Amino acid sequence: MNETATVSFEQLAYSQAAQAFLDREPRLFINNAWTASSHDATIAVEDPSSGRIVSRVVDASDRDVDRAVAAARAAFDDGRWSGLAPMARERTMNRLADLIEAHADLFAELEAIDNGKPKGMAGAVDIPGAISQIRFMAGWASKVAGETTAPYTLPAGKVFSYTVKEPVGVCAQIVPWNFPLLMACLKIAPALAAGCTIVLKPAEQTSITALKLADLVAEAGFPAGVVNIITGNGHTAGDRMVKHPDVDKIAFTGSTEIGKLINRNATATMKRVTLELGGKSPVVVMPDVDVASVAAGAAGAIFFNSGQVCIAGSRLFAHKSIFDEVIEGVAQASAFWAPRPSLDPAGHTGPLVSREQFDRVMGYIEAGKRDGASVAVGGDAPAADGYYVNPTVLVDVNPQMSVVREEIFGPVVVAQRFEDLDEVASMANDTCFGLGAGVWTRDLATMHKLAARIKAGTVWGNCHAMIDTALPFGGYKQSGSGREQGRQGINAYLETKSVIIQL
């Protein structure tokens, strides 16, 4: 509704390859074959850059879910995957990674069309991230091992005892819409390395790249039934997956609300559960920094992916001596993150994923204003058909406001002043979440003190949202349970068996 109204928000034309993929019939990927649903229900695929419906996917029925779980169950129980040589599992996974790499450009475009993120960002972040998840975990297929352990209470030589690691079984994996392919690969990679079989469900807003991934699963040479990919709504298909008696483990990334529900629903059959949930991550700026470069970093921490990031740096704490300068710097840097249609090569962010998310984010901005917050920059949406929201900085906030307490999941940061390390440590921890935190300082002692004080699964120093597959990732408090990635990531897909033999 301001100067951006003169900029065109027209989405660019799709490539022929992308259009051909979108034109496919809605199908489910079960037992390495494309199969029709048991009913006619479908879900519209919308391009959030234009608000246009560009395809449809199956809205899986209970019977569809049951078929996918049965396929995964049979594939697990006869050992067609877990019984292979680890080298064979590793090589199949690496073939899948190579195939994704060979189709990287199409994946990036489909992600841009479906999610709204810039194709350039998908190509630089999402697709390489997905590939490295698979390559890192492929190596673990041959490195999972138990140990021989001397008993403590028995004399030496009377028993022989050892532990073995075994795959947990059939895994139901439910992923969100903010990094669709990356989240899908982050989920399937450790499960496959461990020898598990899978039913994967992408989010109803962003199913397209998971379906493209399914094409490559068969081509990579996975036995039928090892990776099944179904599309559908959360409260129906997702719920069926979570409650299914033949599922052994659930891995979920999404909202804290649904994570809690899934945790409860999994209890009846004591399924193993890992949850990666919401966040309200602090970004702490100490007074000794170079303000210009740190302000750009703080802007990136919240505005990357339009703030639709579980570890988004959505609470900015700047020391009172530099607060105004930091806010000024973040406001200036926000121009770089102005939203554009996802296929526009000049854009660094796109629209939000959906009308629902747009309404939620704009609702938070309005609530913040009503509660007395001031808008330092943004606070509005460009006039366009897609779901664009301008990068927004709110000041004059207090810890009671919903914009400070709740996850907004949009390009909105709330900024507060602090006086000293003790105060900022307690402000940073004044949240039910504990996923990530960024600390910006040149002083090593301050860095280490804050890294120790802040209750979060990951603390970044002089950077934000740096993710590496070798490092465990997950949440303290209500940001989740369990860890993904790294050695801990594979452990989440393994049971430990002790064997004790009397000699």
Query: Which helix H or strand E contains 280, and what residues bound it?
Result: none
Check binding of 313 to ligand NAI (CB under 6 A): no
Among 134, 242, 294, 439, binds ligand NAI (CB under 6 A): 242
DSSP string of 414-458, one letter each residue = EEEEESSHHHHHHHHT-SSEESEEEEE-S-HHHHHHHHHHS--SE
Check binding of 235 to ligand NAI (CB under 6 A): yes
Q: Are strands 52-58 and 159-167 parallel, antiparallel or unpaired?
A: unpaired
Please tell me the distance from the alpha carbon of residue 106 to that of residue 117, in angstroms, as a whole number.
14
105 CB-near residues (< 8 Å, 6+ apart): 123
Candidate segments 109-117, 228-236, 283-291, 392-400, binder of ligand NAI by CB under 6 A = 228-236
Whether 278 contacts 479, CB under 8 Å: yes
Catalytic residue among 111, 276, 407, 484: 276
Helix 323-333 to helix 291-303 angle, to the nearest 10 degrees? 60
Q: Is 68 helix (H, G, I), strand (E, B) or coil?
A: helix
Among 199, 258, 373, 389, binds ligand NAI (CB under 6 A): 258
Check binding of 185 to ligand NAI (CB under 6 A): no
Please tell me the distance from the alpha carbon of residue 462 to that of residue 438, in angstroms, as a whole number.
7
Check binding of 253 to ligand NAI (CB under 6 A): yes
Cβ at position 421, least distance to ligand NAI in Å: 29
Check binding of 173 to ligand NAI (CB under 6 A): no
Among 239, 248, 344, 484, binds ligand NAI (CB under 6 A): 239
Check binding of 174 to ligand NAI (CB under 6 A): yes
Contact letters (x/-) for ligand NAI, 91-130, by CB under 6 A? ----------------------------------------
Is 432 one of the annotated active-site residues of the chain?
Answer: no
Check binding of 59 to ligand NAI (CB under 6 A): no
* Residues 115, 116, 117, 123, CA torsion sign: positive
* Per-residue tokens: 213: 């991934």
Q: Token match 């496959």: residue?
A: 192
Please tell me the distance from the alpha carbon of residue 404 to that of residue 389, in angstroms, as a whole number.
19
Is 276 one of the annotated active-site residues of the chain?
Answer: yes
Whether 45 contacts 209, CB under 8 Å: no
Check binding of 409 to ligand NAI (CB under 6 A): yes
Cβ at position 433, least distance to ligand NAI in Å: 10
Report 322-361 residues binding ligand NAI (CB under 6 A): 360
Check binding of 310 to ligand NAI (CB under 6 A): yes
Check binding of 277 to ligand NAI (CB under 6 A): yes
* Catalytic (active-site) positions: 276, 310
Residues that bind ligand NAI (CB under 6 A): 174-178, 201, 203-204, 233-235, 238-239, 242, 253-255, 258, 261-262, 277-278, 310, 360, 407, 409
